[in-house]
Amino acid sequence: MSTPNDAVATPDPRRWVALAVLLIANFMNLIDVTIVNVALPSMRDSFGATDAQIEWVVAAYILAFALGLLPFGRLGDIVGRSRMFMWGMVAFTAASALCGLSPSIEFLIFARVLQGLGGAMMAPQVLAIATVTFPPSERGQAFSLFGLSAGLASVCGPILGGVLIEAQLFGFDWEPIFLVNVPIGIAALVAAWFLIPRLPGHPSLSNDFVGIALSAIGLVLVVFPIVEGRAYGWPLWAFLMIAIGAVFLALFVVWTARRARQDKPQLLNHDLITNRDYMFGALVVTIYASGIPGMFMVISLLLQAGFDFTPLQSGLTNAPFSVGVLIASFIAGRFGNRYLRSRLAAAATLLTLGIGTLHFIVAAVSDTIDPWWFLAPLLIAGIGLGLGFSSLFQLVLRNVPPRDAGAGSGALQAFQQIGGAVGVALVGEIFFTRLANGFAAGADTHTAFAEATALALWYQVVSFTIVLLLVPFFRRGRGEGQDRPSAAPVIVEA
C-alpha cells in the first residue's frame, strides 16, 4: 500500500470505510455552497450588511475555491494527496468555526475566503485518492456514490440551513450553518488519519507560482469592481481595475506559453489554452455555471426579506430545484457518452423554460407568494442543470488528448467556479440596482423585491439561451455516440 500501483494491485480492505470519509468531506464542501443562501437575509439583518457585502459572502467562497483548485491539486501531487486532503480538512473545519463565530460581516467574508481555500485543498484530492484506492473493477461503483452525495448535498443544503436557523440552537441565529461543520470535520479528520492510505508525493515536481499569482490577481481585479462598482457609482477606478485585470490575465497566457517552451509545469497546460475546442468549451462552461448561484441568492432575499418567509420555508420552496438535479443525475448516468449535444440542448431548453416561467410568476406577484407556484419551474430547471453539466463536461473533454485529460477536467471545474463568482456579481448588480430604484420611486417592499427579482432572472434566461445557441458549434468528437466510461464523475454543484 506504499504506492498508488500497490493500492490498486492489492486493494486495502478498509477502502469502503475510507470512501465514507471522502464522501463526508465532499458532502461538507458541496453543502456549504447551497446552505448559505437561505441564511443571507439573517446575516444581512444581524450585521446590518450592505448589498455588496451580502454578495461577497457568496462570491468570496466561490472565487477562493476557484483560485485554489489548480494550485492545490498540483501541490497534492508534490507533497502527497492524503496529506493535502487532511490539511484541507483542518483548514475547512477551522474556517467554518471562524465563520460561525464572526463578530462582523467583514470578518465573515475573510473567513469565507479561508473556507473556500480549505475546500480547494480537499476537492482535487478526493477523487484522486479514490482512483488509486479502488481497483478498476470497483471504481464505477465508488464514483457513482460521489454523484449521489453531490445530489443529496444540493437537496439537503437549503432545508438543513432553514432547520438550523429556525432551531435557534443555544441562542444562535445563522451561525449553526457553519458551526455544524466543526464536530463533523473533527470526526472525519480522525477517521481519515486511521483509514485513508498514505499516498506518497513527488517532491521532484514543482508548482507554477508566478502563474498562480498572475491568474489570481487578474481574476480578483476583474470580479472586485463588478461587485463593488455599483456602491460607489461606477467610478473610473472600477473600469481601470477591470482593464488591468484583463492585462494580468493576458500576461498569464504569455507566461504559460513561456513555461511550455521551457518544458516546465504550468498552472493551466498551454496545450489546453491553444486547444480551440477546449477553450470554446470552457467559455460555455463559464456561461452555463454563472446563472445558478446568483439566482438563489436573489430568490432567498425575495422570499425572506421581501415576503417574510422563514429560512425553512425559503429552503423548502427552493428544494424542488435540488430534487430535479438529483433526478437528472440518475437520468444522465444511463446515457453514458451518447447524444451529448442533444442532451446539452435539451438541458439549456429546460433551464430557459423553467427560469423563464419563474420570471413571469415573480413579475405577476402582488401581496403574497404561494410556494407551490415555484415547484414546477424550479423542478424543470433543476433537471436541466443536472442533465446539462454531465453532457457539457464530456463534450469539452472528448477532444482533449488523454495525457491532458486530468488537467483539463480540473481546469473545467475552476472555470465552473469562476463562472459562479462572476454570475453572483452580475446578478447582484442587476438585482440591487433595481431594488434601490424601486424604493427610490416609492414602491412598497413586496413590489420592489418582486420587480428586482424578475429583472435579475432575465440574466439566467439570456445566459442559458446563449448556451443553447452555442451547442451546434461543438464539433463531433472521436467516438461520438459510443458509450465510453468517463475517467471521473462530474460533480454538479447546484
Query: What does the block give as the cell for 45?
Result: 439583518
Lowest mean per-residue pLDDT among 116-130, 172-186, 273-287:
116-130
> Is pLDDT at 336 greater than 80 in this prediction?
no
C-alpha grid cell, residue 264: 516546465
Q: Do domains 1-206 and 268-494 have the same CATH topology?
A: yes
pTM above 0.85, yes or no: no
Band of residue 1 on the pLDDT scale cut at 50, 70, 90: very low
**Residue 444 in grid coordinates:** 412598497
- What pLDDT score does 147 carry? 65
Is the pLDDT confidence value at 146 over 60? yes
Q: What is the pLDDT of residue 486?
A: 45
pLDDT band at 213 (very low <50, low <70, confident <90, very high): very high
Model confidence at 490: pLDDT above 70: no
CB 176 within 8 A of CB 169: yes
The label of the residue with cell 459562479 reads 420
Contact at 8 Å (CB) between 408 and 397?
Answer: yes
User: In sequence order, what are the residues at sequence separation of 6 or more whose Cβ sits closer than 8 angstroms to the Cβ of residue 372?
Assistant: none
Q: How many CA atoms does the CB half-sphere of 74 hold within 13 Å?
A: 20
Query: Which CATH superfamily is 1-206 part of?
Result: MFS general substrate transporter like domains (1.20.1250.20)
Rounded CA-CA distance 444/422 in Å is 30
Model pLDDT, residue 487: 45
Q: Where are the domains of the chain?
A: 1-206, 268-494
Portion of the chain with pLDDT greater than 70, in percent: 91
- The CATH number of 268-494, from 3.40.50.2300, 1.10.3720.10, 1.20.1250.20, 3.50.50.60, is 1.20.1250.20
Distances from the Cα of 23 to the Cα of 27, 151, 152, 176, 313, angstroms: 6, 12, 11, 21, 28
- At 421 the three-state DSSP class reads helix
Mean pLDDT of the chain: 85
Residue 2, CB-side half-sphere exposure with 13 Å CA sphere? 0
Report how far residue 2's alpha carbon sits from residue 18's, in angstroms, rounded to the nearest whole number.
16
Q: Are 133 and 15 in contact (CB under 8 A)?
A: yes
pLDDT surpassing 60 at residue 4: no
Convert the pLDDT of each residue in 474-488 to its tens digit.
Answer: 876 554 444 344 444
Give me the pLDDT at residue 481, please. Answer: 46
Q: How far is Cα 77 from Cα 73, in angstroms, rounded to an integer?
A: 7
Distance CA 223, CA 60 (A): 10
d(CA 62, CA 32) in angstroms, rounded, equals 10
Place of cell 439566467: 460
Amino acid at 360: F
